[in-house]
Amino acid sequence: MKISGAIEADRITCATSFVLAVCVGIFFGRSRPDILTLLVLISVVTFLTAIKRRSWIVLIACVAIGLTIGIWRGSSYAGQIAKYDRYFDKTVIVTGKVADDPGYDVSKQTEFHVGDVSVFGSKLPGKIRVRSLGAGQVGRGDTVTAVGTLRKTIGTSRQGALSFATVTVTHKTTSWVESLRSRFFASVYSSLPEPQASLGLGYLVGVRSSLPTDFALALSVVGLTHIVAVSGYNLTIIVQFVKRFFEKRSAYQTVFFSAVLIASFIVVTGMSPSILRAAIISGFSLLAWYYGRKFSPTLLLLLGASITACASPLYIWGDVGWYLSFLAFAGVLLIAPIVMHYLGRYSKNILIAVLVETLCAQLLTLPYISVIFGRISVISPVANLLVIPFIPLAMLLIFVTGVVGMLSPVLALWVAVPARALMTFAVWVVENLSRIPWAQSKIQLDWRGAVAVYLLIFVLIAVAWWRARDNTKARPDTIDWNLL
């Protein structure tokens, strides 16, 4: 499609502009819903004009329509969230389903989040964190009633919190998925010691609520928390490993097994926004690869962001995990292919590919982490170098151990020997590196400093990309254009 002047906006550009505008609209819809009427008018006029005249007005129409949809979604959701204000600092009765695996906080209270929230019978969006001293039998998927004083919380990952609540389980889940999941977890815990068992389950499904407090802190110090977080990282590792293993054998098998793994992972871990975004990005990229089409990584990222943000605008309004996951995927999809290109023949090694993708993901998350937490892990590159290459194998061994243990607990003790050795090595690395005095450093960036760092990274990426493109013209088979 030709555009006036030297600008050419093809379908990818229009689609990218549209989904980006949706995200921007949702972000500002919380505070500026008053411009919605104006945008609706602009959208209608530009769309009608675009039907008759294929010019730069099409791009404006995509942006205006995207902003309209985003602001409408953001403003309407903000109105629903505002209903929580009437209940803060009051004793409330909350009912809903347990949305995650219960754990324990520092005061030894059972801690979990409730979704499908009802306060005094009134349905509300979002989640509420519940802490209780008498909720030891609560499991994921159970329907509970919690009574306590509702307090405000920082951030948007939850809309309120109850501490020292009185919790009653009104309905135990009968889901076969939860039953199978519980049996699998019990099998792993009976076959491996701690913290190896909890770390292994963290590898597989992102469960970290059962990790010992000291070991969870050590993971943070060495910059390996992402390996046990439900952030989409685990799913990315699985899909990338399957793709690299099967792609030279059968494209159909690659897509089929990847799809099965994606679906199974969502069922086991739950439909968190980061997991859904990982599934969307992985699914579309696999389909594009299968049909031999090129899919813009920027469009993939923004498509995943816009879908999850539309599902819950709370994520784009300040959910730290959502932004960390988004930045990590940007590192995997945008930076890793360029680095792999410069590695030449070494890029064919699966372990090197996994390590490069992990380090590229961390590169883009570090400035944001510095702004939010004021600390970054100095030892992180070394820890990742020692642990990350073995994660795909460890995930496979833990999975086999858990399945065998469900059939024969005695046989599982023998089958678990390789997994135990690998997990013991990972635990040894984490515990010993975390004891180094300079393993973690206080580096507090403000937003302006973080923006400057990201601009510098962007310039370096652009220069590396242009050089890679020029080299590829001479050697057309040396770079993965499906990712670039």
Can you spell out the DSSP letters for 106-125? TTS-EEEEEEEEEETTEE-S
pLDDT value, residue 428: 93
Characterize the bridge pairing of strands 160-162 and 128-132. Answer: parallel
pLDDT value, residue 475: 39
pLDDT value, residue 481: 35
Whether 477 shows a pLDDT value over 50: the answer reads: no
41 confidence band (pLDDT: 50, 70, 90): low
Closest CA to 328 of 229, 427, 465: 229
Contacts 24+ apart (CB under 8 A), 107-111: 107/131, 108/133, 109/133, 109/163, 109/164, 110/134, 110/135, 110/136, 110/138, 110/167, 111/209
* Strands of 124-247, DSSP E: 128-132, 143-151, 160-162, 166-171
Whether 12 shows a pLDDT value over 90: the answer reads: no
208-236 mean pLDDT: 72
As given in the structure block, the two tokens for residue 207 are 């469960």
Token pair 């046989």: residue? 411
Please provide the CATH number assigned to the domain covering 88-173.
2.40.50.140
Over residues 414-469, the pLDDT tens digits come to 888 999 999 999 999 988 988 888 888 777 777 888 888 888 888 888 888 787 76
d(CA 246, CA 238): 12
484 confidence band (pLDDT: 50, 70, 90): very low
356-369 mean pLDDT: 81
pLDDT value, residue 472: 54
Instruction: Show me where the domains of the chain are located.
Output: 11-77, 88-173, 186-474
As separate numbers, helices (DSSP H) first and strands (DSSP E) second, the chain gives 17, 10
Residues near 357 by beta carbon (within 8 Å), at least 6 away in sequence: 236, 240, 331, 332, 336
| pTM reported for the whole predicted model | 0.74
pLDDT value, residue 3: 42
